[in-house]
Amino acid sequence: MNAPFKSQQGPSRRDVVVASALVGGSLLVGCSPADLMSAGSKVEPGVFGPFIKIAPDGVVTVISKHLEMGQGNHAGLSAIVAEELDADWTKVRVEQAPANAKLYANGGMGVQLTGGSSAISNSWDQLRKAGAGARAMFVQAAANRWNVAVGEITVKDSVLTHTSGKTATFGELLADAAKVPAPTDVKLKDPKTFTLIGTDRVRRKDAQAKVDGTARYTQDVRLPDMLTAVVAHPPRFGAKVKSFDAAEAKKVAGVVDVFEIPTGVAVVAQSTFAARMGREALKVEWDEDKAEKRGSAAITQLFKDVAAGKNTETKWEAFDTRGDAAALNTAKDAFEATYEFPYLAHATMEPMNCVAAVDGSKVKLTFGSQGQTLDQLNAAKIVGCLPGSVEIETLFAGGSFGRRATFQSDYTAECVHIAKKVGKGRPVKLVWTREDDMQAGYFRPIVIHAVKIQLDKDGYPAAWRHRIVSQSIMKGSPMGGKGPDQTAIEGTAGSPYLKATPIVDAQVALPDVGVPVLWWRSVGATHTAFVMEHTIDQLAAKAGKDPIEYRRALYTKAGADRHLAALNLAVEKAGPQAAAGWTRGVAVHESFGSVVAQVAEVKLENGAPRVGRVVTAIDCGVAISPDQIAAQMEGGTCYGLSGVLFGEVTLTDGKVDQSNFDTYRVLRINEAPSVETNIVPSGNPPSGVGEPGTPVIGPAVANALFALNKTPTTRLPFVRSEN
Partner 1 sequence: MAVTLDINGKPTSIQAAPDTPLLWVLRDELSMTGTKFGCGMAQCGACTVHLDGQPIRSCVTPIEAVGTAKITTIEGLGGQHPVQQAWVRHDVPQCGYCQSGQIMSACALLAQKPKPTDEDIDNAMSGNICRCGAYQRIRAAIRDAADTGPPLGEPHADIDEAIVAGSGATHRGAGR
* Other Cβ atoms within 10 Å of 176 Cβ, number: 16
Among 199, 311, 338, 408, binds partner 1 (CB under 8 A): 199
Q: How far is the CB of 330 from partner 1 (least distance, A)?
A: 47
Q: What is the gyration radius of the CA atoms in the chain, in angstroms?
A: 27
Per CB under 8 A, contacts with partner 1 among 435-494 are 435
Is residue 669 part of the contact set for partner 1 (CB under 8 A)?
yes
Q: Which stretch binds partner 1 (CB under 8 A): 41-49, 265-273, 290-298, 493-501?
A: 265-273
What is the three-class DSSP state of 713?
coil
Continuous segment of H or E residues that includes residue 120? helix 119-146
| Nearest Cα to Cα of residue 689 among 646, 614, 616, 636 | 636
Judged by CB, which is closer to partner 1: 429, or 449? 429
Contact 232, 277 (CB under 8 A): no
Is residue 211 part of the contact set for partner 1 (CB under 8 A)?
yes
- How far, in Å, CA of 226 to CA of 666, rounded? 34
Among 18, 143, 173, 397, binds partner 1 (CB under 8 A): 397
Q: How far is the CB of 286 from partner 1 (least distance, A)?
A: 24
| Nearest Cα to Cα of residue 704 among 584, 544, 575 | 584
Is residue 213 part of the contact set for partner 1 (CB under 8 A)?
yes
Among 32, 376, 409, 642, binds partner 1 (CB under 8 A): 642
Is residue 628 part of the contact set for partner 1 (CB under 8 A)?
yes
Contact 465, 320 (CB under 8 A): no
Is residue 683 part of the contact set for partner 1 (CB under 8 A)?
yes
Among 64, 637, 650, 658, binds partner 1 (CB under 8 A): 637
Among 26, 147, 164, 214, binds partner 1 (CB under 8 A): 214
Among 82, 134, 630, 651, binds partner 1 (CB under 8 A): 630
Report how far apart, in Å, the C-alpha atoms of 68 and of each of 103, 353, 632 are: 18, 16, 13
| Nearest Cα to Cα of residue 692 among 116, 265, 134, 35 | 116
- How far, in Å, CA of 506 to CA of 489, rounded? 9
Is residue 217 part of the contact set for partner 1 (CB under 8 A)?
yes
Judged by CB, which is closer to partner 1: 203, or 552? 203
Among 518, 599, 631, 696, binds partner 1 (CB under 8 A): 631
* Other Cβ atoms within 10 Å of 600 Cβ, number: 33
Is residue 207 part of the contact set for partner 1 (CB under 8 A)?
yes
Is residue 525 part of the contact set for partner 1 (CB under 8 A)?
no
Per CB under 8 A, contacts with partner 1 among 74-93 are 90
- How far, in Å, CA of 722 to CA of 650, rounded? 12
Is residue 635 part of the contact set for partner 1 (CB under 8 A)?
yes
- How far, in Å, CA of 251 to CA of 233, rounded? 21
The distance of Cα 459 from the centroid of its chain, to the nearest Å, equals 37
What is the three-class DSSP state of 643?
helix
Continuous segment of H or E residues that includes residue 80? helix 73-85
Is residue 197 part of the contact set for partner 1 (CB under 8 A)?
yes
Judged by CB, which is closer to partner 1: 258, or 633? 633
Judged by CB, which is closer to partner 1: 208, or 361? 208
Judged by CB, which is closer to partner 1: 172, or 676? 676
Is residue 191 part of the contact set for partner 1 (CB under 8 A)?
yes
Per CB under 8 A, contacts with partner 1 among 607-626 are 616, 622-624, 626
Among 348, 378, 454, 687, binds partner 1 (CB under 8 A): 348
- How far, in Å, CA of 322 to CA of 249, rounded? 63
Is residue 715 part of the contact set for partner 1 (CB under 8 A)?
no
* Other Cβ atoms within 10 Å of 434 Cβ, number: 15
Judged by CB, which is closer to partner 1: 277, or 328? 277
Query: What's the CA angle centered on 272, arms 270 and 273, to 5 degrees?
Result: 100
Judged by CB, which is closer to partner 1: 134, or 667? 667
